[in-house]
Amino acid sequence: MKVLVVFFLGLLFSALLSWPIVRNFSRIQETALRFKPKAELKATAARIGPEKFSTYQASLEKELAAIRKKLAAYIPKQPYLIINTSGNDFLLMKDGQQIRHGMCSTGSYTVLQAGEFREWIFKTPRGMFHIQGKTPNPVWRKPDWAFVEDGLPIPSATHHSRYEYGVLGDYALSLGKGYLIHGTLYKRFLGMPVTHGCIRMGDEDLADVYKTLPIGARVYIY
Amino acid sequence: MKVNIINKLYDRLSIWKRKIQHFLQTLLAFIKWFGYHRRVQVLFAVLVISLPLFLIVYGIVLPAKNHKPFPVTSDISSDTVLSGKISLNDDMLASLKNIISLENEKVFQKNRLSLADKDSIYLILDLRDSLLLLEIKGVPVRTNKIIDLSKSRRFSLISHENLLPWISEPFTLERELSTIPKMPIVVKQAPKDTAEAAQTSSTPLPPESTAVFFTFFFDRNLAIEFEQADPLKEEDYPVIKSYRSKKRKESRHSVFQTLKSPRQADQPLLIRIVIDEADARAIYRAVPSRTHLILKL
């Protein structure tokens, strides 16, 4: 009986001692690796051959310059816009330099459910887009969700109640698929994710963005 | 009545006192017995150290001793044999270090070029300049300064010959652990009429304040831990506790994997990064679920 107690106590103490090892396993492994010698460079020297160091270095520099040139072609020559949907701010860029920074509003990530089969998610798409059109004094053509959200019946596609004046600010820049960069009446919400997917800006910022970005200019949204 | 209760309580206490005395006497007798039997003591000591010893030998010593970086190709092995005959002076060594740096840079820029052609948002981790960049089609859209950085010791054990093929392709995100959701979705039911619509609040929700901690597990055994530099608030502790507990579970799982195969060569390479909370949140939300990462060494 006593031997059995000793046996079980031994197992218990063993498990108790092992627990900190299991908890800090990777840390102990890292410490154990301190005793391994650091990697040597001789294998690299053998691959290149010490007598070819200078020619190889020159060829590497040449290749690198060619790759950098190809990469530089990806930086837009004309001004471009960067939108941060997480922080709700934007950067207007020209020649790789920031020329304006300001607050904006992007998609609220609200899912509007109307019945079992209809729902809309209000998020701003991410990726690279182009300015497809520029409109001064834009008129908002209200989509179906705007009526559903207000508890109103959805009118026909050409019904006059679809058109609302003065709510999109002085300018609108189209990104395609119905997404716009436009102004807002709700300036106190700038810097917050409150929109239905469009990008809202303050009046001065919008005017500057409208004047700076030509049609075809790139807009990067992340 | 009161006297009765006190008497009952006193009786119970006496019973417990006797029980404790009996237990202590048994324990003392057991310890005396244990002290007299040398063989039992040896058996006890062997039992106690057996499991920790097993874990240390099979889980730590053996993998560390047999640690082999990856991927080891036959070409590299033959070069390593040849390398025994090479001696390098200081000038050659400096030149070789420059070549290594150029080779790393070439691989890095080549990876950028390959991802710039794809329509995706990807990450660049520049360990040389302590920078974390977000790029879209070759254009850096966000550059974050890394406040604190630490990397696994395994990096210094891997030779350039093995490291170069490892970083020569962009890494692909396989899974992740995080304290914040990928999309802060709020579900709203459409109002039935204008009266119900008028009652629903149009005020936006207050900005999110949950602490941002996440780990990205990439292919080829690369894991990157992102932590916010900003101090934690009291309400963050339960979220952080749950995140850390999930991570510990992962770690324990890897312990058992190591025990199953202590000679495996592909131990995970971990990099820990500390950045601002806003940067961490923007990075986590911006990258798609199968994003790519380019590592610059």
| Interface predicted TM-score (ipTM) of this complex, two decimals | 0.86
- Specify whether the CB–CB gap between B278 and A78 falls below 8 A: no
Domain containing B159 equals 89-183+208-296
Provide, as residue numbers in chain B, all residues whose Cβ is less than 8 Å from the Cβ of A5: 30
Number of domains composing chain B: 2
A37-51, A117-131, B19-33, B83-97: least confident range: B83-97
- For residues A182 and A215, membership in a common domain is answered with yes
In which band, very low, low, confident or very high, does the pLDDT at B147 lie, cut at 50, 70 and 90?
A: very high
**Is residue A209 one of the residues assigned to a domain?**
yes
- For residues B99 and B175, membership in a common domain is answered with yes
- For residues B110 and B213, membership in a common domain is answered with yes
- For residues B176 and B31, membership in a common domain is answered with no
CB atoms closer than 10 angstroms to residue B217: 16
- For residues A51 and A97, membership in a common domain is answered with no
DSSP A139-197: EEE--HHHHHHTT-----TT-GGGEEESSS-SEEEEEETTEEEE--S-GGGTTS--BSS
**Is residue A21 one of the residues assigned to a domain?**
no
- B113-131 per-position pLDDT tens digit: 999 988 789 999 999 999 9
Q: Provide the pLDDT for residue B153.
A: 86
Residue B82, pLDDT > 60, answer no
**Is residue A4 one of the residues assigned to a domain?**
no
A15 in contact with chain B, both atoms CB, cutoff 8 A: yes
Q: Provide the pLDDT for residue B119.
A: 73
**Is residue A182 one of the residues assigned to a domain?**
yes
| Contact flag A30-B153 (C-beta cutoff 8 Å) | yes
- Specify whether the CB–CB gap between A206 and A183 falls below 8 A: yes
- A127-144 per-position pLDDT tens digit: 999 999 999 999 999 999
Residues of chain B with pLDDT > 70: what percent? 90
Mean pLDDT, all residues of chain A: 93
Cβ neighbours of residue A34 under 8 Å, at least 6 residues apart?
B153
- For residues B254 and B163, membership in a common domain is answered with yes
Give the separation between CA A185 and CA A187, rounded to whole angstroms: 6
- For residues A51 and A105, membership in a common domain is answered with no
A40 in contact with chain B, both atoms CB, cutoff 8 A: yes
- For residues B225 and B288, membership in a common domain is answered with yes
- For residues A84 and A184, membership in a common domain is answered with yes
Q: Provide the pLDDT for residue B198.
A: 82
**Is residue A13 one of the residues assigned to a domain?**
no
- For residues A139 and A49, membership in a common domain is answered with no
**Is residue B166 one of the residues assigned to a domain?**
yes
- For residues B106 and B156, membership in a common domain is answered with yes
Q: Provide the pLDDT for residue B118.
A: 86
| Contact flag A86-B184 (C-beta cutoff 8 Å) | no
A4 in contact with chain B, both atoms CB, cutoff 8 A: no
**Is residue A200 one of the residues assigned to a domain?**
yes
Window A:98-137, CB contacts with B under 8 Å: 108-115, 121, 123, 126-128
Tell me the sheet residues that pair with B292. Answer: B172
B159 in contact with chain A, both atoms CB, cutoff 8 A: yes
Closest Cβ–Cβ partner in B44, B113, B278 for A70 = B113
B77 in contact with chain A, both atoms CB, cutoff 8 A: no
Domain containing A58 equals 40-74
A153 in contact with chain B, both atoms CB, cutoff 8 A: no
- Specify whether the CB–CB gap between A76 and A213 falls below 8 A: no
**Strand pairing report for A127-130 and A218-221:** antiparallel
Provide, as residue numbers in chain A, all residues whose Cβ is less than 8 Å from the Cβ of B188: 110-113
**Range B69-88 average pLDDT:** 55
| Among A74, A95, A126, residue at a domain's last position | A74
| Contact flag B252-A114 (C-beta cutoff 8 Å) | no
B92 in contact with chain A, both atoms CB, cutoff 8 A: yes
- For residues B113 and B41, membership in a common domain is answered with no
